[in-house]
Amino acid sequence: MFIFSIIKWLNAILEAGTFILMNNRFVILISATAALGGLLFGFDTAIISGTIPYIQAYFKLDAVMIGWAVSSGLIGCAMGSLAAGGLADKYGRRNSLIICALLFAISGIGAAISKQFFLFIIFRIIGGLGVGAAAMVSPMYIAEIAPASQRGKLVALYQLAIVTGILLAYFTNYALNGTGEYNWRWMFGTQLIPSILFLLMLLSVPETPRWLVNNEQVKQAVIVLQKIKNSLDVQHELTQIQLSYSEGEKSSISRLFDKKYSKVLIAGVLLAIFQQVTGINAILYYAPVIFNQTGLGNNDSLLYTIIIGLVNVVSTFIAIGFVDKVGRKRFLVMGSVLMGASLIVVAICFYFQFYKYYLILISVLVYVASFGCTLGAVTWVYLSEIFPNRIRALALSLSTFALWLADFAISYSFPVMTAHFSTSITLGIYAGFCLIAFIYMIVNIPETKGKSLEEIETLFL
């Protein structure tokens, strides 16, 4: 039985890596293109980690200002996610993503040439606007394009793009680490590459059929549906979409807070917050700093972050292979347990000053792997599909806004908390949030796998 289980697991991994063999390659192409918004997210998340010692010396920063340098972009992310809902509803999902790519490019150039800390912060915030908006629009675009049976793995492409961006940033930091005192400028300047790639690829993708229907462009919606659906399913899908808008409700802030949407809105906001307060971006932003505390040099610490990035990518492939089979809820519950246990081990090591870097590294890798294949990928899948068509853009905007605020709170407070308390206490607090997330998910999160977006609407009524 064990051998058969291993074979089944390997087959699922193989499927995750080769699911481009699905019947409709066009769906894969446009989903992968939209997912590149996650590449911007991941690159921005990790590139700052390699620059911390250098911008600290150049701008003469204390612990509070380091926290501000790292987390300032998240202010832009929160603002961008709030603006993205209205932007995506008015101008379309595709055009919104094009704007995101342009903002990220401006940020990379601006941060790279900044000579004053104030200007550096401004350009970080500008990049955050693009990243925050893309974090909301990219998963929504994919969810509105993808067939129900494949939606989980296609939306999980967004998380794969995030972790790929993180890995690329780690490689960039390592490669540029010894290139001189201004290497941090080159690190930020490389942001121009993924933003231009994203922009060029977006020129070939269509608008989503659900946005087209909602904006009375039914003929164009039919054309897109014919490209992404079996010809026999087009009319049925079109009818379902039209019915979901048939009540005549238009997306608005007041409509968003209707009592009938309260349950799904609370679930989305809390799930977004749990993804962050369980500590993942404290680990990703400050991984070199954490390893430095164990006695490792800066170069070795950056090398270990590459290992973290590789594990993050591999674990996301596991999520892609299993999310449409195992289901969303089981993944989320399992992840909160494994992440909490891993954090406790690292916290104990720091509390007793047991600085065995291999034990800390293994525990961090288990934590990152657990996040990558559960809360990392599945949160985006779940958020992109649970909201009704009429409020999806604004509800997803509010959820990602909450996510960025939580991310800001964690990333800003981490250096301050470790300086005033200790690393062990800080990590222990994150483990406590894992426990809270576990309890909430067991009680309040319904399963959504295999259901159409219109069917999922009924689960939270």
- 138 assigned to some structural domain: yes
Q: Give residue 123's domain range.
A: 16-460
User: Per the domain annotation, does 121 fall within a domain?
Assistant: yes
- pLDDT tens figures, 107-137: 999 999 999 999 999 999 999 999 999 988 9
For residue 247, what pLDDT is reported?
58
- Per-residue pLDDT at 91 exceeds 50: yes
Give residue-wise pLDDT tens across range 172-231. Answer: 888 888 777 788 899 999 999 999 999 999 998 999 998 998 888 989 988 888 888 766
Question: Which of these, 267, 268, 377, lies nearest to 323 by C-alpha position?
Answer: 377
What pLDDT sits at residue 458? Answer: 84
pLDDT at 230: 67
Write down the pLDDT at residue 103.
95
Q: Answer yes or no: is pLDDT of 97 > 90.
A: yes
Domain containing residue 261: CATH number: 1.20.1250.20
Q: What is the pLDDT of residue 453?
A: 81
CA distances (Å), 456 to each of 148, 152, 327, 449, in order? Answer: 10, 13, 14, 9
Q: CA-CA distances (angstroms) from residue 371 to 88, 182, 318?
A: 29, 33, 11
- What pLDDT is stored for residue 19 in this prediction? 42
Give the contacts of 86 (CB within 8 A, at least 6 positions apart). 393, 394, 397
Amino acid at 25: R
Alpha carbons 370 and 342: distance in angstroms, whole number: 9
Residue 404 in any domain: the answer is yes
Taking the C-alpha atoms of residue 240 and residue 351, their distance in angstroms, rounded to an integer, is: 56
The yes-or-no verdict on residue 437 having pLDDT over 70 is yes
Calculate what percentage of the chain has a pLDDT beyond 90: 35
* pLDDT of residue 346 exceeding 60: yes
More confident residue, 342 or 391: 342
- Residue 286 CA to residue 30 CA, distance in Å, equals 34
Residue 15 has pLDDT above 60, yes or no: no
The pLDDT, as a whole number, for residue 250 is 58
Q: Provide the pLDDT for residue 23.
A: 46
Among candidates 39, 170, 55, 179, which has minimal Cα distance to 112?
55
Tell whether 72 is covered by a domain: yes
Nearest in space to 387 (alpha carbons), one of 231, 297, 294, 271: 271
148 part of a folded domain: yes
Q: What is the pLDDT of residue 358?
A: 76
Asked whether 390 and 268 are in contact (CB, 8 A), the reply is no
Per-residue model confidence as pLDDT tens digits over 222-270? 888 888 876 667 887 888 878 777 655 555 677 788 888 899 999 999 9
Is the pLDDT at 14 greater than 50, yes or no? no
7 is a domain residue: no
| pTM score of the predicted model | 0.77
**Taking all residues of the chain, what is their mean pLDDT, rounded to a whole number?**
84
Compute, in degrees rounded to 10, the torsion defined by CA atoms 357, 362, 363, 365. 120
Q: Does residue 140 form part of some domain?
A: yes
- Give 135-156 pLDDT, tens digit per residue: 889 999 998 888 877 888 888 8
Tell me if 9 is assigned to some domain.
no
- 286-313 confidence digits (pLDDT tens): 777 777 777 666 667 677 778 888 888 8
Q: Please answer whether residues 294 and 303 qualify as being in contact, where contact means their C-beta atoms are separated by less than 8 angstroms.
A: no
Tallying the residues shown for the chain, one arrives at 461
Number of domains observed in the structure of the chain: 1
